Structure 1
Amino acid sequence: MSTPNAAEAWDKRYTEAELVWSQEPNQYVVEYLLDLPTGNMLDLGGGEGRNALWFASRGWHAENSDFSAVAVEKFLQRAEQAGLTALCTGTVGDATNSQSCTTRPVDLSVLAYLQLPPADLGAALGVAMLNTRRGGTVFGVWHARENVTRGFGGPPARELNPSMMELRAACEDLRLNIRTLELRERAVHAEGLDHIAIDVVLVATVD
């Protein structure tokens, strides 16, 4: 999935901003996963680690994996500042590669706004499944296909915004047990205006 040029571009983006993504965890990560019992988790393509840090603050062992070395280093620095180093692992790796993490098996794998073409997205879901124990949870949230024409933000390319049909087919191919697959509307305030973004949320278990 990743190329040296793509990784370099993201390294540049992460270098030029204090934080590319928000400091707080994704709202759907909190909403859907708050009540899970503490364990080990993996965030594939987790950037600066906002979700992994939130889990670590709740006592989880959290591994943040991203193909940007700059993002991973920022995650580790933030973990140190928060006194969470013992609970945090940072790994530079491609989300479509099974060697992209070191903590396995985990109780939870998260893919948050990992906007990839269908084949690569299926591969990333496969990596999440392979690294999650039986009975564990695979969680994903993406800018939805509907967001391209009716929502705000996200990549403009249609193929980078998964449809529910594509996600369902990928889960069926991997024999992931879908618990939740639904569209959600998210309020976004940008440049002084209120917008609505359309996301698709997946909660599945490994059987």
Structure 2
Amino acid sequence: MPEQDLELAEAQRAHWQQTYTVHPGMYGDEPSAPAVHAADVFRAAGAEQVLELGSGHGRDALYFARRGFTVTATDFSPVGLDQLRDAASHLGLGAAVDTTVHDVREKLPLSDASVDAVFAHMLLCMTLSTEEIRVLVGEVRRVLRPGGTFVYTARHTGDAHYGTGIAHGDDIFEHGGFAVHFFDRALVNALADGWRLDEMHAFEEGELPRRLWRVTQTLPG
């Protein structure tokens, strides 16, 4: 990784650590709308094990566990995962949720074809280069069982913040300390190469509001 990219990645890691420390449970207890959708898709596909990438303090991981899935939750913030483990224990879901500190720039800490489904809400559009995103999706493909489903969301180039703030290149722009890689349609299509692209759904979330795509793609069986 170029030194400039490494510095930005480390700055983002520190920023998220500080954010979760100052604002524990910052996204609340209710699951995100994409997680609710994903749980239905995963259940219909017969999935039992779910890997969540970038789980943060765990509102979606806990929802998957409440829906009866066994969940492996990863994040590069130990602070966020500490909050997730505490919440899981309090809710009696500790046995259903396993947490692992992990940076998605590294190989996923799972064996080949070991999970039924993968979920990532706004993780792919963090401070990752296009090449790092491609490698990560390749890792998702490696750990999914044949016929497994991948649901992810990403802010796209129609978002009001696209092209503004601090530009870091490769369609990455920073606002308020948070850097985002905005997706265009070509990137979504490229990431679906070799998969079945089931859905590309546009939606809005939060303030501004953020404009995102919810992408569902299935690994051939």
Q: Same fold (TM over 0.5)?
A: yes
Cα distance in structure 1, aligned partners of 2:134 and 2:119: 14
Cα distance in structure 1, aligned partners of 2:134 and 2:111: 20
Q: In 2, are the aligned partners of 1:39 and 1:107 still within 8 Å (CA)?
A: yes
The alpha-carbon distance between structure 1 residues 68 and 39, as it changes in their structure 2 partners (threshold 3 A), is: same
Q: Determine which of 122, 127, 130 is the counterpart of 2:139.
A: 127
Q: In 2, are the aligned partners of 1:42 and 1:62 still within 8 Å (CA)?
A: yes
- Please tell me whether residue 178 in structure 1 is matched to residue 187 in structure 2: no
Q: In 2, are the aligned partners of 1:109 and 1:132 still within 8 Å (CA)?
A: yes
**AA aligned opposite 1:15:** T
The alignment yields a C-alpha RMSD, in angstroms, of: 2.5
**AA aligned opposite 2:76:** F
Q: Tell me the matched-pair count.
A: 196
In structure 2, what is the equivalent of residue 44 of structure 1? 53
1:41 is paired with a residue of what secondary structure?
A: strand
How far does residue 23 in structure 1 lie from its aligned partner after superposition? 2.0
Q: In 2, are the aligned partners of 1:64 and 1:89 still within 8 Å (CA)?
A: yes
How far does residue 200 in structure 1 lie from its aligned partner after superposition? 0.8
Q: Determine which of 54, 78, 94 is the counterpart of 1:69.
A: 78
- Please tell me whether residue 29 in structure 1 is matched to residue 35 in structure 2: yes
Q: In 1, are the aligned partners of 2:38 and 2:119 still within 8 Å (CA)?
A: no
Q: Determine which of 205, 209, 213 is the counterpart of 1:200.
A: 213
Q: Determine which of 86, 92, 97 is the counterpart of 2:95.
A: 86
In structure 2, what is the equivalent of residue 161 of structure 1? 182
**AA aligned opposite 2:62:** L
The alpha-carbon distance between structure 1 residues 47 and 33, as it changes in their structure 2 partners (threshold 3 A), is: same
2:199 is paired with a residue of what secondary structure?
A: strand
In structure 1, what is the equivalent of residue 130 of structure 2? 118
Q: In 1, are the aligned partners of 2:39 and 2:64 still within 8 Å (CA)?
A: no
Cα distance in structure 2, aligned partners of 1:149 and 1:70: 28
The alpha-carbon distance between structure 1 residues 101 and 6, as it changes in their structure 2 partners (threshold 3 A), is: farther
How far does residue 101 in structure 1 lie from its aligned partner after superposition? 4.7
The TM-score with structure 2 as length reference comes to 0.78
**AA aligned opposite 1:144:** H
Q: In 2, are the aligned partners of 1:65 and 1:91 still within 8 Å (CA)?
A: yes
Cα distance in structure 2, aligned partners of 1:8 and 1:163: 28
Cα distance in structure 2, aligned partners of 1:162 and 1:100: 26
**AA aligned opposite 1:177:** R
**What are the ranges of 5 or more consecutive residues in structure 2 without an aligned counterpart?**
173-180
The TM-score with structure 1 as length reference comes to 0.83
The alpha-carbon distance between structure 1 residues 92 and 187, as it changes in their structure 2 partners (threshold 3 A), is: closer
In structure 1, what is the equivalent of residue 177 of structure 2? none
Q: In 2, are the aligned partners of 1:148 and 1:161 still within 8 Å (CA)?
A: no
How far does residue 80 in structure 1 lie from its aligned partner after superposition? 0.4
**AA aligned opposite 2:216:** V
Cα distance in structure 2, aligned partners of 1:149 and 1:8: 22
The share of aligned pairs that are identical, in percent, is 22
Cα distance in structure 2, aligned partners of 1:187 and 1:85: 29
